Chains A and B, each alone.
Chain A
Amino acid sequence: MHESILVYRGFRYLKLGAGMAAIAILAYAVHRPEVGPPNGGTALGYVLGAWGLGLIVWLAWFGVRKRRYGVGRRNLEDWLSAHVYLGLGLIVIATLHTGFQFGWNVHLLAYVLMMLVIASGVFGVYAYARYPALITENRRGMALREMLAQIAELDAKAREISATLGENIHGEVMAAAEALRLGGSALRQLRGRDRNCPAARALGRVRELALDMPAGETEKGHQLIELLARKVQFVERARRDLRFKAVMDVWLYVHVPLTFALMAALTAHVVSVFFYW
C-alpha cells in the first residue's frame, strides 16, 4: 500500500503539488511589492496566505474524510496521495507567504506548528513504508493474540513441570508468570524492551537452580529450561510487535494534536492580522 499511495496514478499528486509550488515560486519571483520588502501583507502575500489557509483546512479535512467510508467519488487512496503531496507543497506556499520575515510572534508559532505537522506526516509516510514489512517478518504468520496464547500455554506447561521440581523453582516459575506484563506506557511500548523482564529473569534463575538438581530431575529440568527459553523468545517477539505498531501509531499522536493546535494558531494569526489591520 505504501508504494501505491506515493506513486498513485503515475505521481498525479506529486505533479500537482510540484506544479503548485512552481507557480507560487514564479509569482514570488516576478511580484514586486509597491512598498517595502516581500511580506504577508502585499497583494501576493494575501493570495499565498489564502491559498495556504485553504490547503490547511482541506488537508485537515482528511481526518474527517478518512472516517467516512464510501462517501464521495474519490477513494481513500486518492485522498491520501493528495494529502501527502499537497501537504508537502504547502511548505513552499506558506514559506513564500512569510516573505522570509520571521519574528517571535504568533505568526511564527503558526508557521512552526505547520512545519511540525508536516514533519510528523513525513515521518508517518516513512513509518508506513518501512514498518509493515518488519511487522510481517517478526510475526511469521502469528497474530499478537496467538503469541500471547503461546506464552500462556508455555506458562501453563512450565507450571506443570515445575510443580515436581521443588519449591524454589516452582516459586520462580509462578512469580514470573504472575509478574509478566507486555506493553505498558507509551514509552515502554516504543522502547520494545524490558531490562527487568520477569520471563528472562526467571529463565536465568532456573538455570542457576538447575545446577543443583538431583540427578533424577535433570531431564525435567532441561524441559523446563527449554520451555522458559521459548517463552522468552515469544515475549521478545510480542514486544517487538508492540514496538512496531507503536511507532506506526505514535506520529499520529503528534500529527493530530498539532493539527488542532495549528488550527488554533491560524485562527489567532488571521484574527490578529485583521484585528490590527
Chain B
Amino acid sequence: MSALVRFLTRKRAGGVAQRDVAVAGNRVAFGRAADNDAHLNDPRVAPYQAAVEARAAGIYVEALGGFEVTLNGAIVEQGWARIGNTIGVGPYDVKPFDPPAGQALAVTVELVRPMGDDLQKLVAGSRLGLDQTRLSRRGLSWVLSLIVLALFLVWPVAAFFNPGRTPDNDLTKNRGWRPDMMWNSGPISFAHQPVAQQCNRCHQVPFVMVRDEACTACHEAIQNHADPKKFRFAELTEDRCERCHKEHNGPAQITLRDQAFCAGCHGRFREKAPASALLAAADFRTDHPEFRPTVAIDPVARRFARVSLAAAPRPKENSGLIFPHDKHLRPSGVRGPEKVETLDCGSCHVPAPGGMLMAPVAMEVHCQRCHELAFEPLSRGRRLQHGNVESVLRTIREYYADVALRGGFPDPTAPPVVRRRPLDKPPTRAEEREALAWAEGRAQQAIEFVFTSKAVCGTCHQIASAGSGAERRFGVVTPQVAERWLPKGLFRHSAHSTETCQRCHALDVTDPARFQERVKEAVPPFAEAMQAVGGIEPVVTALRAAAAALKDAPWSQAALDAAIDVALVVATEDLPQAPGMARARRAAEDVVGAIWSNDSSDILLPGIASCRQCHSGDSGFEWSRPNNRLASDCVTCHYFHTPDESPMRAPPAAAAGPKVPGQYKSGGAAKDTSIKATQSGIRNPPRP
C-alpha cells in the first residue's frame, strides 16, 4: 500500500506544474520538519502539524500536537474528509482526489496563501529586540566615560593650572569650593583645616610627593630629633616629613605613633648611638629604664645631675631649700597668723596654666603670711624684703639709724639719746654720733641674727658667709627648685586630676623603706601615749595589739598597717576628750604624717612602677598588654622634635612657598623656654 502526494504549483503564465511524491503506507504526515511525508517548507507550518490517513471508513484527518487544521474552513482536531474537500494545513490547501489504482490515498497540496506582504509589514513595523531600539551600548559608553573624564579629571587639572590659584597667607579668607576638592581622599586633620581649600599649598608640583618645603613654609623652625652632627642617621635627616605625618585621614592627629618606629633605634640604643647618654627603651611596660630626674646636687655651684630613682641608696637632691613637708601637713594644722590652719598640697602647689606643670611656689604668695621676715621684736610690723640681700642690709641699717635719731626706742640697754622722748630738743652733734654708733651696732647684731639664726632666712635657706666680725658678709644660696624633674618626658598633671597627690608623691610611694623606718619610730611613742589615755578602750586595745606585734622583729607590714589605721582614727576623728588625749593625738599625727617627707633632700617622685599600675606600652597588638592598662606609646610622654635642637630642614627659599609670618615658630610639642635640656642631661637653672 502506498499513497500519492501531488504538489501543485501555479505558474504566472497560467497552467499548473505538478510534482508527485510516493509515500509508503496509507498515511501522509504534513509539517515543516524534513522527515514529514509531505514536507511543507513554510514558517507558518508547525514541524508536525497534520496527518491524513486512508481508512476503511474514509479519509481520516488528524491535527497533531495541538496545531490547527481546518476541514472545509472549520477548525477540527480530527474528522473525516471526502474526495474534493479542502483540508487546511497552514497556508496550504490539501485536497483528496480519487487515488489511482494501487494507491490507498491521493492528495494534492497547494500553497494557496504565499507568505506575502502581511508578514513583511508586521516585521517592518515592529522593533524586535533591544538592538533595534535607540539604546546603544557603544553610545552610552562613550557618553558616560567622557562625562566622567571631563568632570573628574580635566576640570580639576585645569583648575590646578589656573594661574589665579597661587596660594596666599590669608587663612581667614573663604575660598569656597574648588574642582580639585573632588580629589580629596579624606578629611584634612584638625590643625590643617585652615588650608584645606588650597590643595596646591601642599601639592605644589604634579606627580611629585608633597615636599618638605611645603611643610617648612609654615613650620619653619621644626626641630631635629637629635643633634645631626653627632647622630648621623638617615631616618632622622633624610626621611620626608610625610613619612611620619600622613594627611587626609580625618580630623585626628597626623603624628606617627608607632612604637616600633621608636624602638627600632631606641630599643638597641647602646649599639646604635654609643655617644648618647640615653638608656635603651623599647616598651613602657616591659623595656624602659627607671626614671632619672634631673636634680640639683650643688646649689652654690649650680650643678645638676640626672639620677636614677632605682639607685640604692635612694638618691637625694640638694636644692638649697629647707622645707619639711610633714610639719606643714599635720592633720591638726599649723599656727597661722590669726588662727590654726590646716594645709593640704593644694595650699601651695597649684597647676600652672596649661595644666602640664605645677606653678612655682612663691615665698610672697605661699609662705610669707606666716613666715613674715620680721627682725625686731619691738617692731613686728617692720619686715624685710624677700630675695634681695642688699635690700635686707639697707632696711635693717636704715631702721636702726632712723629710730636712733628719732628717739623713743624703748630698749633699756640703748643710750639715753635713743630712748629720749621724740619731742625733746634735738640731739647735739655728739649725741647724734653716739646714737648712730649704737644704731650700727644694733644693725650688725640684727644682721647676724637674721642670717645665722634658724628664725628668719635660715628657716628655709642655706646661708653663705665670708669674713668675720664687722667685715662679715652674708649671702643666701638661691634654691634650685626644679620646675620639671623629667625634662625629657611630658607629664600632664591635668590629665591625672582624678588621682590624689598622695597616690604618687607620698613617702610611702617614693621611698617605702624610709617610710617604714619613720613609722617604726613613731609607733612606740604613740603606743605609750595611748596607754595614758582613758575612756577609749577599743582604740587602745587595738593599738596595744598593734604595738605588741610591732615589738616582734622583723616588723610585719600587717602590724604597721594596723598601727597606721589606729593612728588615723586618733589623729583625724573627733574622739571624746580625755586626759592625755592631746599628747596621744600629736603622737598619732607623727605616725600618720610619716607618709609626708620630713627631709628636704627627698626626691618626692614616684618610680616607673607607679606609672605602670595604669600605663602599659603599646606594641600595636591589643592582646600583648593587660587589657586594664592604657596603651601608652612612646609619643604619649616623649616628643620626636626636640625643643632647642636646630631646625630640622633648611629654611625654604623665598620663592619655594608661602610663609605665614609669626606662626608655628616653635613647632614641637609644649616647648617650655625656661628649660634648657641638653644631651648630657645637665640642665641650666630654670630661673636666675
A residues with a Cβ closer than 8 A to B are 32, 34-37, 39-41, 101, 103, 105-107, 109, 141-146, 148-153, 155-157, 177, 180-186, 189, 223, 226, 230, 242, 245-246, 249-250, 252-253, 256-261, 263-265, 267-268, 271-277
A105 near B145 with CB under 8 A, answer no
A41 near B133 with CB under 8 A, answer no
A242-B254 contact in complex given A103-B184, A105-B182, A186-B133, C-beta closer than 8 Å: no
At the interface, yes or no: B340 with Cβ under 8 Å from chain A? no
A107-B130 contact in complex given A275-B160, A275-B206, C-beta closer than 8 Å: no
Q: What CA separation (Å) do A186 and B134 show in the bound complex?
A: 8
8 pairs from A and B in contact (CB 8 Å cutoff): A35-B244, A149-B44, A180-B122, A182-B126, A183-B132, A242-B128, A258-B144, A260-B142
At the interface, yes or no: B624 with Cβ under 8 Å from chain A? no
B43 near A146 with CB under 8 A, answer yes
Q: What CA separation (Å) do A183 and B129 show in the bound complex?
A: 7
Q: Report the minimum CB–CB distance from B618 to chain A (whole Å).
A: 11
Closest B residue by C-beta to A159: B118
Q: What CA separation (Å) do A185 and B142 show in the bound complex?
A: 21
Closest B residue by C-beta to A180: B122
B183 near A276 with CB under 8 A, answer yes
B128 near A144 with CB under 8 A, answer yes
Q: What CA separation (Å) do A163 and B461 show in the bound complex?
A: 135
Q: Report the minimum CB–CB distance from B154 to chain A (whole Å).
A: 9
B199 near A276 with CB under 8 A, answer yes
Q: What CA separation (Å) do A230 and B149 show in the bound complex?
A: 54
At the interface, yes or no: B16 with Cβ under 8 Å from chain A? no
Could you say which of B67-75, B224-232, B308-316, B472-480 contacts chain A? B67-75
A268-B153 contact in complex given A103-B184, A151-B122, C-beta closer than 8 Å: yes
Q: What CA separation (Å) do A148 and B75 show in the bound complex?
A: 20
Could you say which of B164-172, B245-253, B365-373 contacts chain A? B245-253
A267 near B149 with CB under 8 A, answer yes
Residues of A within 8 A of B185 (CB): 39-41, 101, 103, 105, 107, 273
Contact of A32 among B142, B182, B207, B620 (CB under 8 A): B620
At the interface, yes or no: B469 with Cβ under 8 Å from chain A? no
Residues of A within 8 A of B132 (CB): 183
At the interface, yes or no: B626 with Cβ under 8 Å from chain A? no
At the interface, yes or no: B535 with Cβ under 8 Å from chain A? no
Contact of A276 among B73, B131, B180 (CB under 8 A): B180
A260-B141 contact in complex given A105-B182, A146-B44, C-beta closer than 8 Å: yes
Residues of A within 8 A of B149 (CB): 264, 267-268
Closest A residue by C-beta to B68: A230
B144 near A257 with CB under 8 A, answer yes
At the interface, yes or no: B113 with Cβ under 8 Å from chain A? yes
At the interface, yes or no: B12 with Cβ under 8 Å from chain A? no
A250 near B130 with CB under 8 A, answer yes
- Residues B191-211 near A (CB distance < 8 A): 199, 203, 206-210
Q: Report the minimum CB–CB distance from A109 to chain B (whole Å).
A: 7
At the interface, yes or no: B267 with Cβ under 8 Å from chain A? no
- Residues B353-395 near A (CB distance < 8 A): none
Residues of B within 8 A of A185 (CB): 127, 133-134
Could you say which of B255-263, B286-294, B398-406, B505-513 contacts chain A? B255-263
Q: What CA separation (Å) do A189 and B123 show in the bound complex?
A: 15
B6-45 CB mask vs A (1 if < 8 Å, else 0) is: 0000000000000000000000000000000000001110
Contact of B113 among A156, A226, A267, A274 (CB under 8 A): A156
A35 near B130 with CB under 8 A, answer no
B residues with a Cβ closer than 8 A to A are 42-44, 46-47, 68, 73-75, 90-91, 113, 115-116, 118-119, 121-123, 125-135, 137, 140-149, 152-153, 156-157, 160, 180-187, 199, 203, 206-210, 243-246, 248-250, 252, 254-258, 261, 620
Residues of A within 8 A of B152 (CB): 106, 109, 264-265, 268, 272
B118 near A155 with CB under 8 A, answer yes
Residues of B within 8 A of A107 (CB): 185
Q: What CA separation (Å) do A65 and B246 show in the bound complex?
A: 42
Residues of A within 8 A of B133 (CB): 184-186, 189
B44 near A37 with CB under 8 A, answer no
A35-B245 contact in complex given A101-B186, A103-B185, A260-B144, C-beta closer than 8 Å: yes
Q: What CA separation (Å) do A146 and B42 show in the bound complex?
A: 9
Binding site secondary structure of chain A: helix
B137 near A253 with CB under 8 A, answer yes
A148 near B119 with CB under 8 A, answer yes
Q: What CA separation (Å) do A39 and B133 show in the bound complex?
A: 44
Q: Report the minimum CB–CB distance from B94 to chain A (whole Å).
A: 16
Q: What CA separation (Å) do A141 and B148 show in the bound complex?
A: 46
B130 near A249 with CB under 8 A, answer yes
Residues of B within 8 A of A242 (CB): 128-129
Q: What CA separation (Å) do A143 and B91 show in the bound complex?
A: 18
Contact of A277 among B118, B123, B210, B245 (CB under 8 A): B210
Q: What CA separation (Å) do A181 and B132 show in the bound complex?
A: 13
A181 near B90 with CB under 8 A, answer no
B183 near A106 with CB under 8 A, answer yes
A105 near B183 with CB under 8 A, answer yes
Contact of B126 among A146, A184, A246 (CB under 8 A): A184
Q: What CA separation (Å) do A261 and B115 show in the bound complex?
A: 46
B122 near A41 with CB under 8 A, answer no
Q: What CA separation (Å) do A188 and B119 show in the bound complex?
A: 21
Closest B residue by C-beta to A242: B128
A189-B145 contact in complex given A105-B185, A256-B137, C-beta closer than 8 Å: no
Contact of A152 among B122, B127, B181, B203 (CB under 8 A): B122
Residues of A within 8 A of B180 (CB): 276
B261 near A34 with CB under 8 A, answer yes
Residues of A within 8 A of B210 (CB): 277
Q: What CA separation (Å) do A44 and B260 show in the bound complex?
A: 18
Residues of B within 8 A of A256 (CB): 137, 140-141
A252 near B145 with CB under 8 A, answer no
Residues of A within 8 A of B208 (CB): 277
Residues of B within 8 A of A264 (CB): 144-146, 148-149, 152-153
A183 near B160 with CB under 8 A, answer no
A153 near B148 with CB under 8 A, answer no
Q: What CA separation (Å) do A250 and B256 show in the bound complex?
A: 51
Q: What CA separation (Å) do A228 and B304 show in the bound complex?
A: 114
B122 near A253 with CB under 8 A, answer no
Residues of A within 8 A of B246 (CB): 35-36, 41
Q: What CA separation (Å) do A260 and B140 show in the bound complex?
A: 9
A223 near B73 with CB under 8 A, answer yes
Contact of A252 among B137, B160, B256 (CB under 8 A): B137
Q: Report the minimum CB–CB distance from B135 to chain A (whole Å).
A: 5
Q: What CA separation (Å) do A107 and B74 show in the bound complex?
A: 70
Among B43, B160, B207, which residue has the most Cβ atoms of chain A within 10 A? B43
Q: Report the minimum CB–CB distance from A197 to chain B (whole Å).
A: 13
Residues of B within 8 A of A258 (CB): 144
Additional pairs, 13, CB under 8 Å, beyond known A106-B152, A268-B152, A277-B209: A34-B244, A35-B257, A39-B185, A101-B186, A141-B46, A148-B126, A149-B44, A152-B118, A156-B116, A256-B141, A264-B144, A271-B153, A275-B207
Q: Report the minimum CB–CB distance from A186 to chain B (whole Å).
A: 5
Residues of A within 8 A of B143 (CB): 257
Residues of A within 8 A of B134 (CB): 185-186
A261-B130 contact in complex given A34-B258, A148-B123, C-beta closer than 8 Å: no
A35 near B258 with CB under 8 A, answer yes
A153-B256 contact in complex given A101-B186, A103-B187, A181-B126, C-beta closer than 8 Å: no
Residues of B within 8 A of A152 (CB): 44, 115, 118-119, 121-122
Residues of A within 8 A of B261 (CB): 34
Q: Report the minimum CB–CB distance from A234 to chain B (whole Å).
A: 11
A39-B186 contact in complex given A181-B126, A260-B142, C-beta closer than 8 Å: yes
Q: What CA separation (Å) do A151 and B115 show in the bound complex?
A: 11
Residues of A within 8 A of B115 (CB): 149, 152
Residues of A within 8 A of B156 (CB): 272
B140 near A189 with CB under 8 A, answer no
Closest B residue by C-beta to A219: B74
Residues of B within 8 A of A189 (CB): 127, 129-130, 133
